[in-house]
Structure 1
Amino acid sequence: MYFVEIIKDSWKSLLSNKVRTFLSMLGIIIGVAAFVTVVSIGQGTSESIKKNLTSIGTNLIYITPGYKGGRSGKAAISLSELLTEDDVEVIRNSVNNIVYALPFNSLNGIARYKSFNTFSSILGAPPEIFEMLSLGLADGEFFSQEDERSRRSVCIVGYDVAQDLFPDGDVVGKKIYVTVGKVRKSLKIIGVLKESGNILFLNPDRSIIIPFSTSKYLANRQYISSILVQASSEKTVKEVTNQIDEIMFNKFGDENMYRIISQDTILQNVNQAMSLVSLMLGAIAGISLLVGGIGIMNVMLISVVERIREIGIRKAIGATKTDILFLFLIEAVMITLLAGIIGIGLSYILSYVLTSFTQLNSLITITNILIAIGFSSMIGIIFGLLPAIRAANLDPIEAIRYE
């Protein structure tokens, strides 16, 4: 029996019972669709996060207060022990190979303009922050060193904040009111940021950036939220981090009282987290594929019983054990291969829906597709082998007599 004829016969057999063929394919379709979707969403989201992080370089270092009871604790340390502007000066004067060391305040507040209001992050930083984070303007201008020195009540609003407060699009020059706790202050908008998405630990689109000196009035406190440091290059990040670690340890005497986070650390954590999530969800999808494989084996065993007379006739007219083996094995592989292709098509639809209605990103690669197809075919071979062997070993005389 020629190979082409075997394929034709297998195809005819599948078409002769379409419902059973589809039901046997269903588990594989779901498994492949789930596998490709999960892996592609994981890779796409991971790549998106990496892109956002590396778009501003990979030489930023972020220093924040630590926690009581160690880094895994939940309660913040007492306010008197947090970071101050003096720490920024020490870093500027003591650490080599840095471009900037900036104090940074992060406050949560409500911004209002006439009848419109929106929740936003109020970020206080010196004007160097715009260059450090590679922020661009859609309109207006950044505030200056003079604005910083004079504690001027000016601000740069993020893209989403501008959309929320000014639906008509006329933003620059307007005055808004921001409320942080019990403190209320009017700010003149002098610029609007371009849409950027998340950058490092910030979401500039939903932020209002003001001079650091102005933020101290809103914060009504002596300490600062964090310190941002820009190393001279990616190669010096580790050296700079070690120097800062020494300074902070000398101040606090306890490494749990502060945290030093570099972009490289964030990237590693992102990769580990996304890999773990993809592995767990991929394992679930793999179980679905195995269940689908068992379903195919059961269907093929039923098919062998139903086609005993056909097998006997084939053997009587010259078909060998190998011919029968290949006939049923190819049927199983064709079922899983076709199911795999349909599953891949379904994964494109699922990925499109998920990325359209969420902030997730998808990246379906040729590698993922080939793995899915290869795994589907392998399941067809593994779970189709037992029915194929059983069919091949049937005695032709007994098979022909079978009713």
Structure 2
Amino acid sequence: MMDWLFERFPLAMLARRNLSRARTRSALAMLGVVIGVVAISSLGVFGVAFKLSFLQGASFGKTVLVVPGEDAGGLLSPNQVSKVKANVEGDDAVYGLKQREEEFEHLRTSGTVSVYGMEEPTRFVSAARGSIPDPWREQVVVGHDTAEDYDVGPGDSIRLGNRSYRVAAVLADQPRAGALRSLDTGILVPISTFDGEGYTQVHVRTDSPNEANETAMLLRERLGFGREERYRIIDFRETIRQFNRQMSTINLFLLGVGGISLLVAGISILNVQLMSVIERREEIGVLRAVGYGRFDILRLMLGESTLLGVVGAVIGAGLSVGLGLLINQQLLGDPFAFTAAGIRYIGIGFAFGVGAAVLSGIYPAWKAANERPVEALRD
């Protein structure tokens, strides 16, 4: 393939021959391009994959929270929760949470944990070990982190406050930044044990952040009447926007880091080409003497720097794809989960690599093209 390319483009063949004269210098300059392209591409792919993994696991973006307002006395009554359900299409998307703090004991360990009561928990959470009982009376389900901290598992006996319970299951680890993330460090108990206490919050699940925003606006309109503030409606659209802005800033910073690598590579290529011009003054003089014009010399020298950039950028892009596969596997669970934005960063890295090489070769090429044949041959 490369031989066919060089046969079709003699200038590329000459550029390869000239670069092979100083293989070590050329290889080091090309390595700088490779590092710069990998830095820009892989860091960009990492930023995109991290953002996507966060938003995929962030169920809070699709959830609307209804919490007690200033005039609600700190808790939502069952009647208030019913009003929320009545104003949301499909009450299976609405569930209330009750919460309190209790002293926890298991064997010789103890501490204070958050205890939660949830309506029909099997619809919203799943067990990693054991099974969530249905119907549910005298057993508890322990959060993932609580189980690890206190070495608790299904079948163990624990004590909450003044009552003893048997552990039925350990919850699966909740999604990062999920609406129920707090359950990881808590314990889920039958909601009947709260003895008529009010709800601390109500979750309204939707299919997208946009739908969550529309639902929040609807609830504010229907529940926000009167002088008393009994409800406070929270959606996370602005939080997601702020997160996107922060990720854009981080991506720009990462591009800057990669750009510094390419700047170093460009200086290296500039040095290689300047040394080449000095070492080949006599050859350049001969070429000028036999009829090569300034533009021909300019093309030849630029061809060499471009070849360095293209080969280095191709290698760098290939390595970036390999690193992207690893990044996607770690963050998204699918090595081929490339998005258009991730591929674009690889293209940007490739373009920057070639561009840096070409720009770095302009001055040496100009210097070589303006050599006077007589002076070059005399030297």
Q: If the length of structure 2 is used for normalisation, what is the TM-score?
A: 0.75
Indicate the residue corresponding to 1:293 in structure 2: 266
Q: Does the 8 Å CA contact 2:67/2:233 hold for their aligned counterparts? A: yes
Q: Does the 8 Å CA contact 2:64/2:234 hold for their aligned counterparts? A: yes
Indicate the residue corresponding to 2:356 in structure 1: 379
- Deviation for aligned residue 1:380: 1.8
What CA deviation, in whole Å up to 9, does each residue of 1:55-83 have, x standing for no partner?
A: x9x853123579xxxxxxxxxxx998644
Indicate the residue corresponding to 2:345 in structure 1: 368
Question: Counterpart amino acid of 2:63?
Answer: L
Q: Does the 8 Å CA contact 1:32/1:340 hold for their aligned counterparts? A: yes
What CA deviation, in whole Å up to 9, does each residue of 1:299-349 have, x standing for no partner?
A: 323322232112112222343333322221122122223333444455467
Q: Does the 8 Å CA contact 1:97/1:231 hold for their aligned counterparts? A: no
CA distance in 2 between partners of 1:276 and 1:252 (Å): 42
Percent identical = 26
Indicate the residue corresponding to 1:72 in structure 2: none
CA distance in 1 between partners of 2:238 and 2:163 (Å): 37
- Deviation for aligned residue 1:107: 6.7
CA distance in 1 between partners of 2:118 and 2:295 (Å): 78
CA distance in 1 between partners of 2:25 and 2:7 (Å): 26
Structure 1 residues 199 and 297: CA distance shift in structure 2, 3 A: same
Indicate the residue corresponding to 1:29 in structure 2: 34
- Aligned residue pairs total 366
CA distance in 1 between partners of 2:112 and 2:121 (Å): 18
Unaligned runs of 5+ in 2: 1-5
Q: Does the 8 Å CA contact 2:36/2:258 hold for their aligned counterparts? A: yes
Question: Counterpart amino acid of 1:260?
Answer: I
The SS at the match of 1:62 is strand
Instruction: Work out whether 1:128 is the aligned partner of 2:120.
Output: yes
- Deviation for aligned residue 1:282: 1.7
The SS at the match of 1:319 is coil
Question: Counterpart amino acid of 1:391?
Answer: A
Question: Counterpart amino acid of 1:210?
Answer: V
Question: Counterpart amino acid of 2:50?
Answer: T
CA distance in 2 between partners of 1:300 and 1:223 (Å): 77
Question: Counterpart amino acid of 1:228?
Answer: H
CA distance in 1 between partners of 2:103 and 2:280 (Å): 74
Structure 1 residues 380 and 3: CA distance shift in structure 2, 3 A: farther
CA distance in 2 between partners of 1:2 and 1:266 (Å): 58
Structure 1 residues 238 and 111: CA distance shift in structure 2, 3 A: same
Q: Does the 8 Å CA contact 2:313/2:350 hold for their aligned counterparts? A: yes
Instruction: Work out whether 1:12 is the aligned partner of 2:24.
Output: no
Unaligned runs of 5+ in 1: 67-77
Q: Does the 8 Å CA contact 1:88/1:101 hold for their aligned counterparts? A: no
Q: Does the 8 Å CA contact 1:98/1:231 hold for their aligned counterparts? A: no
Find 1:102's aligned residue among 91, 95, 105.
95
The SS at the match of 1:19 is helix
- Deviation for aligned residue 1:249: 4.5
Indicate the residue corresponding to 1:261 in structure 2: 235
Q: If the length of structure 1 is used for normalisation, what is the TM-score?
A: 0.71
Indicate the residue corresponding to 2:301 in structure 1: 328
- Deviation for aligned residue 1:90: 3.5
Q: Does the 8 Å CA contact 1:103/1:212 hold for their aligned counterparts? A: no
What CA deviation, in whole Å up to 9, does each residue of 1:64-106 have, x standing for no partner?
A: 579xxxxxxxxxxx9986443354244234x242424333246
Q: Does the 8 Å CA contact 2:53/2:331 hold for their aligned counterparts? A: no
CA distance in 2 between partners of 1:387 and 1:108 (Å): 73
Moved more, 120-129 or 108-117: 108-117
Structure 1 residues 197 and 30: CA distance shift in structure 2, 3 A: same
Moved more, 388-397 or 337-346: 337-346
Q: CA RMSD in A?
A: 4.3
Instruction: Work out whether 1:389 is the aligned partner of 2:366.
Output: yes
Indicate the residue corresponding to 2:180 in structure 1: 202
- Deviation for aligned residue 1:260: 0.8
